[in-house]
Structures are given as structure tokens and as C-alpha cells.
Structure 1
């Protein structure tokens, strides 16, 4: 019996499904039958239970029909069959009209909402920032732009990438956090399509930033994006400021040509290599770089100061109580740390480091200088460097080139890698270009194996640089950090064995791994993507800073250095910071801060104090360091 019922149910379901295959007409028929099956019995119950219902069966059936017609909006007229048929026809036409109208309105609203969800509507903003592309740098760039716009009421940042709009909004809300008064607007589509770029209204933007991707064709994509941007801005003057970044120097010229005369193109791999090498030579310098690039700290400003015209640049160094003068901008060209006797022309502007909330006003501080505490003797000569390079990636040859440029005679770099023959050829090519001052030696081995590191005289090196490999195509971009973290663990174990802390510089791909890295507080960690993002954000707010940072981070010219405090003031003596500024001035340098050795393990500053008041007094120890802008003594 149960089997017969089961077969009957299957056949009934099959017959029902077959009727639905006839399309919308069959579906409407079944819907009508279902409604009648519910409404007619319910209407009959209401009529038969009504005390005022008519007595005759014909009148009661007519009442059931009227009630059914009113419920289903079918008119419900009674009388001759023709009258009833016409009433039903008119009701059906009315129902068809209303349902069609509702359907059209619903479809239009749905399409509009879907278009908004897809991010395909045009942005109607003026003076906004446009960010093209999506990578880990986007969170740094957007976050810094939000910080820079904190004091503005109607600021907007538009992000265009070939990703889902909702996913981008959720990722930005999670990693960037509250945007304050800045509105974050996401649009979806390929950044190399001029028609899609028009959605961001680039002609009305104040700045356009083109981010490099993590794919192997990242640089070609940047060039194509810049070309598409040029198509989206035909004959537009003035053009918005354009800031872009490429990885390989082979694409920099092409990107610069596509960006236009006013565009700025950064070479991310070269900048990263410079910062890694500078941190290896001056432990703690990465903290200074981060402070100078972060909008939350101190920033560079270009100001006009007519009151200093005709005076020597050295006098300007002690003319501001809470700001640090680091150079001049003359005819559009920045001069960092010019000779103290350089006369300031009326049309010169000062390059000043100041906190974003502090007004830059003249206040003479020369009276705070104590000449009896300053040191004027010659500096100690540089001794040969010994650097250990653990790992290899595309930036490693650039780092070796940077090490060669400032290396004292008889310096050495030992490279440990388990790379293939292509890596060995790269090392050999780097050895050919290393010059006579630098000896390059290759050691084959896996840097994640304890035996490899134990065979090295790890304590004999002045600094250790830990590099991750290049991300493999199709693999997560942060995967090289996994090997880096293992190597750092092994180095921490070796530190306990040799009984001293190693000066380690770590290059990471993902900034989230910084918190996982087994390193000492305040250690040098270079997150290439984050630093380039910070640099792009700074330049986007002031294009003149591109040349400033180019010289600050270069191997030649005036850069940022950490010098022993004993080169400027006598140890264990208390004096004001103005005295240090005066002593640095006598050496042709601009002092902009210091690092206290007693506080190197205390966050978040780790002993670093940038742009202290000239009147700040402290007892300077032999292990303190002074942050200066000046020529590299090598």
C-alpha cells in the first residue's frame, strides 16, 4: 500500500513539474487555482456564518462571488453571464496594468541598485584623491590620505580596482578603520580602460595615485594604467598631480613618459634596497624613516620666511623653537643641509620639519647654546664592514650595489642562499659590479636550517640582513615571510648562544607579520609595500617632496644618519638640544632629533625623539645617538 502511495506521489509530482515546463502561463494558472482554492471556501464560510446573509441559495452564492471578486480584485459584479464576463475582463486588464507597472518600477530600482553595488556610477566630486589599483599598499595609502584630510570637512578618496565593490568597502573598513570626515568611495572595473577611469572623475581630482600590483606583470600594468589615464584626460589643463610606482628601473622611463611632465614615478625596489642598507649601517634608522613618512608624526613643510632673507643658513637652524630647518628650496630645487654660511635669498623658501599641529614661527634660540659642552674634534675613521645577507630576491643585487657605494676598503658581504643556478649567476654578476672595496662571497645553504647558520661565525658580522624570496606566481604574496620568520627564530636562538644581540634588519612583505616576528623591541623591520605607500601619500600632498625624499634616501648626497652623541657634546653633561644643533651645524649638518639608549626597548618610540624643542635639556650619555641630515662621511 505504501509503495502504491509512493508511486502515486511520484507520478503526481512528475505531472506537476511537467505542467510547469510550459512556462509562465502554466505558473499563472496554478497560482490562480491555488488562490481560488483558498479564497472561495473562505468566502463561503464568511457568508454562511453571517447573520445578515440572504436566505436563498442563489443570493448566498452571489454574495460568495462578490466577496471572492473583491478579494482577488476581479470586480465581483453580478447579473447576466455577459455582465460578469466583462467585469472579470476589465479587472484582469487593470490587474495586468498595475502588475506591469509595479514590475517595471521594481526592475528599474533593482538595476539601479545593482549598478551601485557593482560600482559603475560616476563620482561627482572635486579636489578628491583617486587611487587606482589594489594591493597591500592600498590600506597604507588610504589610511594616510584619511589622516592628511583630518582637518578638512569635505574630503573624499575614490578607489578604483578590478574587484567587487562591496569586498573593497569591507576590507577598507576593517584595515583602515573609521575615516572621520573623509568619505571613502569604491568603484569597480579595470584600471586600464579609459571609459572605466572616467567613473572616478579624474579631471576634477586633486591627485591620482597608481599603485603597483603583486603580479609579475605589475610594471606593465602601471604603464598601461597611466596611458589610459592620459586618454581619460585629453587636453585637460591643469592636469591633476599623478604619483605612481614601478618595481623595475626598466619601466621607470616609460612610466614617467606616460605620467606626463608633472607626474612623479617612484622606483620601489631601489628605494627599498636603499632603506634596508641604511638601516643595516645605522641600526634604528628605519624608525626615523617611518616617523618622517607618517602623517601622524612630524612632516616636512616648505615655507617662506622673509625675516631670514640675507642671513646665513646656519642662523636659521636656531631660529625656530619647535621646528627643525633641514634645507632650502631654491628655484624649485631642494638643497638639503647646505653649508652654514650659505646666504638665504629673498625668493628662497625654507624646508622645515614640524609637527602638523604646531605653528611654524620665528623664535631665536641661540642663547640656549652652551659652547663649553660642544665637541669639535675629528671623527673616528670608518672601519671595514662585514655584512651577512641571508636569503635572496630581486632586490638583493640592488642592496649589494648600495653596500658597495658607501663601503670602506676591505669590506665584505657574505650571501647565504639555496637558490638555483639563476640566483648563483645573479650573485656572480653582483660580485663583478661590487668593486675593489667590497668582497662578495656566496655560501650555499638553506637559511631555515639550524646547521646552515651554526656554520657561520655569526658574531663577527656588523649587521645581518634577512630577506624573503620573491612571491611565486599564483601563490599568496605574503608567503616569503614564512621562511623569514623561521630564520629570525634561529637567529634569536643563536643570540642566546653567543651572548649578545645581533643588529638584524628584516625585510617583510606583509605588515601584519611584524607583530609575529621574533625580534627585539625597536628592531629594524622594512615592509617595502608599506614604506612605498607612505612615500606616495606624502608626495601626493606636496609634489616638491619627491626630490627631498629622493635625496634623503639616496646613497649619495645629504641623507638621514644616526651619529654618536659624543661627536657633538661631551658625555654625561646636561645641556639643551640647541647645543646639539649648534654642534651639528659646525660640522655642516642639521640635527633633527636623537635616540636615547636607555629607552631603546620602550615602545612605541623606542627612544626616538624627532624634532624636540630647542630648550629641552637632558644628560647626554656615550651611547645616545643624534639624528642628523647631512653628507655621508664615507
Structure 2
């Protein structure tokens, strides 16, 4: 029985211990939960405990210490909790023990409070470092995602924001915030007046996007990450932005990068009218195709795309409503008018000179900044008298004659032989783009050591090219022997493409190093050759710093793909209409940028104002936007001699080989037709056959040569009667049979044949 009783007591004791342990665990659990809520729950709890302690011990003080009233007892208890020194004058063991207990309680409460505050502050700092707080900004630019292009984009936006008030850039990326901040500060030394705000999160998450004040943003840039199939993430991010339940009714301004053309249609559907997409490979392919034909074009485009210097702007100019485009061109001293955006959103680059500017139309100008687009103080007198369109007959002096029937201008394509060194995703796009510029029978030679690429060229690319024949050569452009086998001097243009696999694997330096090696080999081959024939070299690179290493090589131009695309994205984020302008400038259809010899329009070694240059180029339906001085060809500090949008009152002295930068739909470069002083030409001459219905301007110069024109049109017979009195012999020949067409007409002065605008001439000679 005793054993049974002992076992029962032990079991009961064990149960009591378990119950006590459970109660302690429960209290501890609740206490942990309470503290887990943070400072917002700890402060009220400590306040309640403090009040309870003060009330209890104030009663003890009131009855034991003999204070005069209860209020004094409350105050003495409160001061001892906050300040232990208040008990220094207590006498007697009883009073000191009570004060000691109060002081210990106060120390515990204050310690807990301080610890809670410190923990709260640490949590807030960590939260700020991680970038999880909500952004409260207005008129800011948001960048979603991460790629190496982000540094150039931020640099461009900083420059664009210089005249803005309190501008900001918000970056949301899944990368660690401290790492992002370190990399950006390492690449960008001075953010000037722009604040850069970092946030951590997933661009595809609606919850993370809600922290960025999307509704108040000026623009949203979405960068393609370095992942497989990044376009899927881009499209999903756009859907998260547009379908956000918190969005306002305003339209977003989204600019997104697309890597694969096959995904472009899906992206356009997802983005609707709120998103613009940059297909980088196609843009770079167009720039390369144009740059290899126009040396210096890449520098011009890079300058126009950058906010550093002169760029393209749109402006409503009410003072020019009712005026012609010709008038607008001469209305600004420090801006270059290049086109119009009509009220319906249509962009016309270099429209007809007699195009009327209507209400709602915007002029498109190249200017240093938007606040510098100001009409000249004397623009009315200038366009009404000095450069009046009504006086444009002065453009044609007494040595000018005219063929009367109008037709659209056209440029003659020529047969070319081009070489493509290397291969990447841009290569087939470049080949197709070149196909729009060359004549049938041209050749495109490709150097590659990949059997897969060779198979693609022979089975697919050949069928897509209508004007060019393709030839594949096996080899590597980093092997000098392979380059020497190509007979380089037989080509018109050589295009060097960087290895795209290196870009995807973040081996940009390796890809650029391979290009540098190839350029060194090409330079050595050229230097050691006695061949007088030259060819143009255009090289693609990934890092703009490596172009400085290549300045001493033989390359005529460098295309830094990421840098150009970053600038283009930045421009679109500031003004989405810019895309319409570059869609015209970077295609074979419509107006393009050309560099032509200054001697075609103006005298050399003679000071001439830019107003006069502008006037001279307009005579031939070309619009000057700048010039290039070849003496600064290798001077990077002077933008390699290129000057865009010069002050029109500036006096310029051109030398041989200097260029004028023009806009033209089809640039036709003609040279004077020179022969002996005999009645009939004996030297080799270029015959130009005006087509039926065409209009041309004949500009006569010195009496050392003949111009030959061949046509079956009746108007040709009366053409000579318009010539100056110095061409009496020619006039006599033509006037003898004014209605009967003559097969050939000779004029005893050299001439240049230029296409002219139909309506302008009709106005001038009506």
C-alpha cells in the first residue's frame, strides 16, 4: 500500500510539473509574440507596467515614508524609476530597500524600452537598405530590372534632368540593394541634381510595383535581364503594370527592350498604346548598314542620341503658323529645323519646302536644350526679305537653266562588293538592310568558321536577298592568314562584328579584344600593301572604353551597340515621338543623313556664314544640319571634327575634303562633266539621261567643259534657250528647231545636274 501511495504522489507531482511547464511555456510564447510585434506593442506594455509599479509603490511611500500627500508619493516613485540618484538622500533600511526595488524595476523597464527602440531602428535601417519601403515621388523615371545598359541610361537621364526641379530616378531590381548602390556609385561619379532611389523587389510582382508610385511616374523603362528568354519577363512585367488594380486612368509611358523579333508582336499586344519597344539588333543593323557608307555617321547618331550636346526636340511654334517649312528653317539662329510633326501625329522629316505649318503642328528641331528653342529676334525680316521663299528665284542665277517636267527624285544604286567578318544575330539583319541600298549583282562575302552558320546562309539567307549574291569563306577574323586570303582591296566596305556569345556570357572584354586583334591585322595588311584602292571599315564593340584603344587602328567608325541602345532608350523615355523620327532616319525610305563634300555647295578657303551654307544646300533640295572639318578627324575632344547645329551666324572656312552634313531623301553626288575645249567632248564623260517627266537644275560654271544631256523629250529642244548669253552657240543650235527633239544637246560650260523640288520650281518660275 505504501508503494502504491508513493507512486500516486509521484504521478500527481509529475502532472503538476508538466502543467507548470506548460503554463511557463505558454507565458513565454505569448511574451515572445508580444515582443515580435515590435515597438508598437512594447511601448504600451511597458507604459502599463510602469503605471502599475508607480501606483503600488506610491501607496507604500505614502504610508511608510510619511509624505504630506499622495501626489508627492506618486512623484517620488516616478522620479526613482527614471533617476536612481533621487534615492540618494533616503534614510533607514526600510526606505532604502523600497527605493532599491523601485529603481531596479525602473532600470528593467528603461533597458527593455531602449533595447526595443534600438531593435526597431535596426529593423528600419535594414528595411531601408533592402529597399522595401514605399516611394512617394512625382514626375520620376522608373527603371525596372538590371542590365549593363543601366549605367549609360542613368548617365543620360542625369544630363536630361539638369534643367528639371527636384528630379529623381527609382530603380527596382531583385539584386541586393547595397551591391546595386555600390556599382552605380562606382560608375557614376556625379548625379548632380538627380536623386537615385534604390528598391529591392521583383518587377513582375504587382505588390512590389505598388511601392514605386507608378501613377505619378513620368516614364517607365524595362530592361532585359541576362537570362534565357528575357522577353517573357518583359511581357509579364508590362502586364503587371497595365493590369494593376491601383492604377489611375492616365496612360503609362513605357519603354521596353526586346531581344527576339519573334516576341515583338506578343509584346505589342501586351503593351497596347502605352508601350514602345526597342528591338536592339534591328536598330544596330540599320546603323551599321548606313555607317559603312557614310564615314562619321555613327558619331553623328551618337551625338544626336545623347543629351550631352544637341539633340532632337518637338515644339509648338504659334508664330510660324501659316508660314512654310522654308520660312521655319531660317527662323532660328541656334536651332536646326529638320521636320514637322503634324497634328495627327504624322512625322515628316525634311518635307517639301512649301509645306504650310498649320495649327497643332509641331516643328522638329535639333537644339542644345528645350529652353533654347527661341525664334531669332529678327526672324520676320529674315524670312520676309533676306531669305524669303517668295524671292527664292534668286537661288537660280543667270547661269541656271531648267528642264521643266517634274518627277520624284531617285538615286542610282551601284553594284558593291562587301565583306562581313564574324557573325552574330545582327548579321542577317545587316545583310537584309544592305540589300535595300545596293544594285542587283552586288556581292556579300562572309567569313565564319561555323558549319551551322554556313548552312543557315546557304539554305535560308540566300533566298532572302534579292540584290546580293552571298559567298561564305571558312576562317576566323583573328587569324591573319585567313584575312590575307580574302583579297581585302577588292571590297568596298568591311564590317567587323563582335562575338555575341561573349556578350551573353559577360565576356565583353574578350569579344572586344578579338575585334582589336582583327583591326591590328587589317592595319598591318593595309600598311604593307602598295594598293592605292581603299575600303571603308566599320567595327562593332561592346565597351566604349575599348574604342579609345582602337583609335590608332584602321577603322573608320565604331558602333558601340550597348551605348547607342542605352542612349536611344533614354531618348524614348523623355519623348516617345522620337521613335518616329529615327524610324525615318534609319531606313532606306525617306530622308537620311549624308556627309557630302563642302566644295559641292560653297567655295573653299573663304569665310562663309552657316546661313549661306543652308541656303546653298536648299537650292539642291538638301537640308544642312552641320559640318565636319577633316583636320580634327582623330581629335576625340572635338567630336572627330563633327559640328551639329552650329550657330547660323558663325563664319566657317572649309578646306579640301571637309564635309557638310545634310538631310536628303536620296543623295545624288554628281561631279562636273569635264572635256576639252573642242565643240564636242573628247575625254571620258558621264552621260545623265533625264527621264520623261523629270525636273533638274543645271548649274553652269567655267567655260572649260561640256555638259551632255540625252533625251527624247520635246522640252529638251527648248532647254538651251534658257541658258545665259555666254552659251550663245548652244542656244543657236537648239533654237533652230524648237519643236523637234534633238538627241543630244551640248553646252559650252561645265555643269552639275541636280534634282530639284517640283513645287518650289513651279512657284519660282510661274
Q: What band does the TM-score fall into relative to the shorter chain?
A: 0.7 to 0.9
Decide whether the 8 Å contact of 2:414 with 2:438 is kept in 1: no
Cα gap change, 1:209 to 1:374, in 2 (>3 Å): farther
Q: Please state how far the C-alpha of 1:316 moved relative to its aligned partner.
A: 2.4
Residue number among 82, 106, 109 corresponding to 1:97 in the alignment: 109
For residues 404-446 of structure 1, give each alpha carbon's deviation from its aligned partner in whole angstroms, at most 9, with x where no partner exists: 01112332211111124245314642222111x2121111101
Counterpart-to-counterpart distance in 1, 2:617 and 2:298: 21
Aligned: 1:358 with 2:372: yes
Q: Please state how far the C-alpha of 1:89 moved relative to its aligned partner.
A: 6.5
| SS of 2:313 mapped into structure 1 | strand
- Name the counterpart of 1:407: 438
Counterpart-to-counterpart distance in 2, 1:194 and 1:373: 72
Greater RCO (CA < 8 Å, at least 6 residues apart): 1
Counterpart-to-counterpart distance in 2, 1:508 and 1:111: 45
Residue number among 502, 524, 532 corresponding to 2:557 in the alignment: 524
Decide whether the 8 Å contact of 2:171 with 2:199 is kept in 1: yes
Where does the alignment leave 5 or more consecutive residues of structure 1 unmatched?
1-69
For residues 214-261 of structure 1, give each alpha carbon's deviation from its aligned partner in whole angstroms, at most 9, with x where no partner exists: 333222221122112223365522133111121222222222222231
- Name the counterpart of 1:261: 273
Residue number among 464, 482, 501 corresponding to 2:513 in the alignment: 482
Decide whether the 8 Å contact of 1:373 with 1:575 is kept in 2: no
Aligned: 1:565 with 2:598: yes
Cα gap change, 1:409 to 1:578, in 2 (>3 Å): farther
Counterpart-to-counterpart distance in 1, 2:432 and 2:262: 17
Decide whether the 8 Å contact of 2:630 with 2:658 is kept in 1: yes
Residue number among 326, 329, 334 corresponding to 1:314 in the alignment: 326
Residue number among 525, 529, 539 corresponding to 1:494 in the alignment: 525
Q: Please state how far the C-alpha of 1:584 moved relative to its aligned partner.
A: 2.7
- Name the counterpart of 1:615: 649
- Name the counterpart of 2:416: 385
- Name the counterpart of 1:626: 660
Counterpart-to-counterpart distance in 2, 1:522 and 1:613: 31
- Name the counterpart of 2:354: 341
Decide whether the 8 Å contact of 2:497 with 2:540 is kept in 1: yes
Residue number among 323, 332, 353 corresponding to 2:345 in the alignment: 332
Cα gap change, 1:327 to 1:474, in 2 (>3 Å): closer
| SS of 2:568 mapped into structure 1 | helix
For residues 291-331 of structure 1, give each alpha carbon's deviation from its aligned partner in whole angstroms, at most 9, with x where no partner exists: 11111111222222333333332232223222111111112
Decide whether the 8 Å contact of 1:593 with 1:626 is kept in 2: yes
| SS of 1:471 mapped into structure 2 | helix
- Name the counterpart of 1:34: none
- Name the counterpart of 1:468: 498
Cα gap change, 1:306 to 1:79, in 2 (>3 Å): closer
- Name the counterpart of 1:589: 622
Counterpart-to-counterpart distance in 1, 2:386 and 2:284: 41
| TM-score w.r.t. length of structure 2 | 0.68
For residues 549-571 of structure 1, give each alpha carbon's deviation from its aligned partner in whole angstroms, at most 9, with x where no partner exists: 22111232222222233443355
- Name the counterpart of 1:195: 207
Cα gap change, 1:104 to 1:75, in 2 (>3 Å): farther
Counterpart-to-counterpart distance in 2, 1:482 and 1:376: 56
Where does the alignment leave 5 or more consecutive residues of structure 2 unmatched?
1-82, 388-393, 403-408, 669-766
Cα gap change, 1:552 to 1:530, in 2 (>3 Å): same
Counterpart-to-counterpart distance in 2, 1:550 and 1:176: 31
Counterpart-to-counterpart distance in 2, 1:375 and 1:531: 44
Counterpart-to-counterpart distance in 1, 2:401 and 2:234: 50
| TM-score w.r.t. length of structure 1 | 0.81
Cα gap change, 1:87 to 1:379, in 2 (>3 Å): closer
| SS of 1:281 mapped into structure 2 | coil
Decide whether the 8 Å contact of 1:374 with 1:583 is kept in 2: no
Counterpart-to-counterpart distance in 1, 2:298 and 2:503: 30
- Name the counterpart of 1:606: 640
Counterpart-to-counterpart distance in 1, 2:264 and 2:278: 8
Counterpart-to-counterpart distance in 2, 1:264 and 1:617: 41
Aligned: 1:417 with 2:431: no
Larger radius of gyration: 2
Decide whether the 8 Å contact of 1:488 with 1:518 is kept in 2: no
Cα gap change, 1:496 to 1:233, in 2 (>3 Å): farther
Decide whether the 8 Å contact of 2:206 with 2:241 is kept in 1: yes
Counterpart-to-counterpart distance in 2, 1:548 and 1:474: 30
Q: Please state how far the C-alpha of 1:77 moved relative to its aligned partner.
A: 11
Counterpart-to-counterpart distance in 2, 1:614 and 1:415: 45
Q: Please state how far the C-alpha of 1:84 moved relative to its aligned partner.
A: 9.7
Cα gap change, 1:353 to 1:159, in 2 (>3 Å): same
Counterpart-to-counterpart distance in 2, 1:306 and 1:473: 49
- Name the counterpart of 1:64: none
Q: Please state how far the C-alpha of 1:286 moved relative to its aligned partner.
A: 0.4
Counterpart-to-counterpart distance in 1, 2:458 and 2:224: 26
Cα gap change, 1:564 to 1:186, in 2 (>3 Å): same
